[in-house]
Amino acid sequence: MSRRTLDQLLDDSATKYAEYIAVVEPGLASIRYGDLNRLADKIRKLLQSNGVAHGDRVGIHIPKSISALASIFGILKAGAAYVPVDSTAPMARNQFIFSNCSVKYVICRNPGATGFNSPASAPCPLEYLDPLLSGHFLVSGPSAPESVETPEGLAYVLYTSGSTGQPKGVMLTHANALAFIDWCSATFLPNERDCFSSHAPFHFDLSILDIYLSIKHGAKLVLIAEETGRQPKELASLIAEQRISVWYSTPTVLKLLLGVKGVEEYDYSALRTVLFAGEVFPIKQVRALRELWPAPRYYNLYGPTETNVCTFYELPAMLPGDLHSVPIGKVCSGDSATVMDTCNHPVSRGSEGELYVTGPSVTRGYWNMRERNATAFFEDAGGICWYKTGDLVREDAWGNYVYVGRRDRMIKRRGYRVELGEIEAALYRHDSITEAAVIASSDQAGQVCVTAFINWSGDERPSIIKLKRFCIENLPAYMIPDRFSFQPSLPKTSTDKLDYQRLKELA
């Protein structure tokens, strides 16, 4: 029996739904399933004619677009794995990623931006393939030595921020992604009449659901431009005009729509499913979103890039008044989970520990990082290999995992353990605080200093005394921030998460 692959999802839908619209770039272009499949096949043939074979990696250095999506499927059809990068990121970072992953070629718009258009690797234009690829090129990748064994069936490598200062490549196979996508199919029951949002950039793991779940079911995928995704009124208009029925993004994006005059006037009646992931969604803002969009079903999806999505929680129709945070819920995607202490021993229900995950959606490891792979996984006495997420959780009375914080955001202060996320959650209880982020740093004497960055929506900025008085009412004394910094908005990464690295620099 042949092994299933992600590109087969497009082949199947192109057969069943050839004349259905597959992808829309609002205001620019759209493409039908049959045409998207033909374009992906052209790219496959070009790659194979240039020596791309099974197990090779091909970089993608173009903005989210129909051509980028066709490139993804063309690469997969060639048996290779795609390595997408943020085309707006510094050249040095993208060069590191392509060199580290030993990509054979890079599909790009500007060969000079990749740093690999040397005279010995003259770019090959792609515009003759299709008008949608006008101005795109195929350039030779760096000639870095092969330094890691490629997992069988590798589909893509997504690079995430690394603690060493260099990004690390997470290897995901076709089987990893399909375990997640198949679970989504059974849970959300999408169909060919659905219209999916594509807010996440293709180098962010949230894009896996957007792309493959919509393509699998012959649905329409609406590509949301980065600029549109940051403008509340434009975003609200697009959701209404495109009749989006399945939305998926980080909470940061959804929070943009709250408190903005006029967004409540749009027609959101097509929305039936709202999914969010990637960071904590403060409960008061969840309630506000439910007031704006009362009809859809809401799901909190959890999982680091290394696991796709491994737990989920559907919010009840009526949120309990004493609910202080949204649980990350129960295990999904065919995975298993356990909560361990620092000695790799299971903790009792209700006790805090690190979440370990194993199963079909979990990564085979990091590209070219043997030492990191050795510390990121734990093999138990039964030979089962568990991925150590670094996330602290506890299991509640209903069997749902509740997110506590990151192990690497836990500090010791005045002899107490302090999770910085708990301080953030307390700050969000203030009616006039719309964004909050807390970081810890050490002064020259080695004393830990906690700084709270906040976005204030009230009429008059409060005094520090008033802010500290509010904190005293919501936190123990040892958790009260030393400093408060008012910001017009908090910095975000290219994947729409809070940029804590930038905040550390500001501090």
Q: What is the DSSP letter of 329?
A: B
Same domain, yes or no, for 249 and 389?
A: yes
The string of DSSP letters for 237-301 reads HHHHHTT--EEEE-HHHHHTTTT-TTGGGS--TT--EEEEESS---HHHHHHHHHHS-SSEEEEE
Same domain, yes or no, for 86 and 125?
A: yes
pTM for the model stands at 0.86
CATH label of the domain that carries residue 91:
3.40.50.980
C-alpha to C-alpha distance for 422 and 474, rounded to whole angstroms: 10
The CA R_g of the chain, rounded to the nearest whole Å, is 23
Residue 10 lies in a domain: no
Q: What is the pLDDT of residue 137?
A: 92
Same domain, yes or no, for 393 and 492?
A: no
C-alpha to C-alpha distance for 54 and 338, rounded to whole angstroms: 35
Residue 290 lies in a domain: yes
Sequence length of the chain is 507
Contacts of 143 (CB under 8 A, 6+ apart): none
CATH label of the domain that carries residue 473:
3.30.300.30
Q: Decide if 309 contacts 277 (C-beta within 8 A).
A: yes
Q: What is the pLDDT of residue 1?
A: 44
Instruction: Please name the residue that has the structure tokens 């350039």.
Output: 139
Same domain, yes or no, for 139 and 220?
A: no
C-alpha to C-alpha distance for 183 and 155, rounded to whole angstroms: 18
Domain count, the chain: 3
Q: What is the pLDDT of residue 119?
A: 47
Q: What is the pLDDT of residue 217?
A: 98
- The burial of 228, by beta-carbon neighbours within 10 Å (0-12 exposed, 13-18 middle, 19 or more buried), is given as middle
C-alpha to C-alpha distance for 154 and 54, rounded to whole angstroms: 9
End-to-end CA distance of the chain: 57
Nearest CA-CA partner of 315 in 330, 301, 297, 332? 297
Phi, psi of 35 (to 5 degrees): -70, -40
Describe the crossing of helices 7-16 and 207-216 by its angle, rounded to 10 degrees: 40
C-alpha to C-alpha distance for 437 and 485, rounded to whole angstroms: 10
C-alpha to C-alpha distance for 309 and 183, rounded to whole angstroms: 10
Q: Decide if 439 contacts 418 (C-beta within 8 A).
A: no
**H-only helix segments in 379-463:** 420-427
Strands in 425-492 per DSSP E: 433-442, 448-456, 483-486
Residue 280 lies in a domain: yes
Same domain, yes or no, for 135 and 191?
A: no
CATH label of the domain that carries residue 233:
3.40.50.12780
In the β-sheet with 483-486, what is the strand arrangement from edge to edge? 433-442, 448-456, 483-486
Q: Over its length of 507 residues, how does the chain's per-residue pLDDT go in tens digits?
A: 458 999 999 999 999 999 999 999 999 999 999 999 999 999 999 999 999 999 999 999 999 999 999 999 999 999 999 999 999 888 888 999 999 999 999 999 988 888 776 545 567 889 888 989 998 999 998 865 566 677 889 999 999 876 555 789 999 999 999 999 999 999 999 999 999 999 999 999 999 999 999 999 999 999 999 889 889 999 999 999 999 999 999 998 999 999 889 999 999 999 999 999 988 898 989 999 999 999 999 999 999 999 999 999 999 988 888 888 899 999 999 999 999 999 999 999 999 999 999 999 999 999 999 888 999 999 999 999 999 999 999 999 999 999 988 877 777 676 666 878 889 988 998 989 999 999 988 766 567 889 999 999 888 899 899 999 999 888 878 789 999 999 998 998 888 888 888 888 887
Same domain, yes or no, for 109 and 195?
A: no
Same domain, yes or no, for 249 and 289?
A: yes
Phi, psi of 225 (to 5 degrees): -65, 150
Instruction: Please name the residue that has the structure tokens 């993608």.
Output: 60
Query: Tokens representing 437?
Result: 């982020």
Residue 104 lies in a domain: yes
Same domain, yes or no, for 360 and 256?
A: yes
- Taking the alpha carbons of 430, 435, 439, 444 in that order, is the dihedral positive or negative? negative
Strands in 457-493 per DSSP E: 483-486
Query: For residue 459, what are the domain limits?
Result: 414-506
Query: Tokens representing 115?
Result: 């740093």
Same domain, yes or no, for 253 and 401?
A: yes
Residue 125 lies in a domain: yes
Same domain, yes or no, for 433 and 340?
A: no
Q: Which helix (H) or strand (E) holds 411?
A: strand 410-413
